[in-house]
Amino acid sequence: MITKTELDELVQKYETADFIKDDPVQFIHRYQTKKDIEIAGFVASLLAYGSRKQFIKKLDDLFINIAQNEPLNFIQNFEPELIGDFNYRFGKPKDFISIFNILKELYNTTGGLEELFKYGYKQNKLFETPVDYFYAHADKNVGQGFYHMIPNPHNGGAMKRMCMFLRWMIRKSPVDVGIWDFMPASELYIPLDVHVGRISRQMGLLKRNANDFKSVIELTEKLKEFCPQDPVKYDFAIFSYGVNNK
């Protein structure tokens, strides 16, 4: 099994500002105000699947050409015609319209995503509360894309993109912005996908074969043995080691 020293060296190597330019985290670094940052991060996390090159291209189009680099203003004044035929893989225009309408209501009537996730955390329903809110307010005609971008935690999936979004918002580092403070980094979960799962097993950090939430818990608990206060920092080591050692 890989050692703490080896993992820490990998973190030092990869958790740098240079990591940002090729990662979806780049979108939260384009903005200065908290609500612009959290909206950009949430939306970027929804599309962060499939080809990295393709979803970054799509997000560039969305933020630059459609949202005019003003995420909060775009959401608070959203109208369906603004996005035209914008889509990405499973996500069709109707799915994005519903998500943006839900965010519009959220930001025009409450404190926004931070308040929603904070309430979920306080209720010990970190994932369930935000997801339930979106499901309760979804248009009736939404399709597979809506539920792929906002998956149901009760199905036992890894919730990879939501774990990643929370890492961005909670941790303060050269990469993560740490603008939310309602929970400690020690309670974050590792963002787990096929790639991270495979490398974690090669490193001897994960025994479970399925890439589900039980594996997320197993891997996160293992990483807490190396760094109890910030186990998710090893996401950089695992992800980048695999990318650079194919």
Using the predicted structure, report yes or no on whether residue 84 has a pLDDT greater than 90: yes
**Cross-strand partners of 157:** 212
Q: Which amino acid is at 62?
A: L
Q: What is the dihedral of CA 192, 9, 3, 228, to 10 degrees?
A: -60
Using the predicted structure, report yes or no on whether residue 229 has a pLDDT greater than 60: yes
Residue 205 tokens, joined: 């950090």
Please give the pLDDT value at position 241: 82
Using the predicted structure, report yes or no on whether residue 245 has a pLDDT greater than 80: no
Q: Please give the Cα distance from 217 to 213 (Å, whole number).
A: 6
Secondary structure (DSSP) of 150-186: S--GGGTB--HHHHHHHHHHH-BSSS-B----SS-GG
**If you average pLDDT over residues 135-147, what whole number do you get?**
97
Please give the pLDDT value at position 239: 86
pLDDT of 20-56, one tens digit each? 999 999 999 999 999 999 999 999 999 999 999 999 9
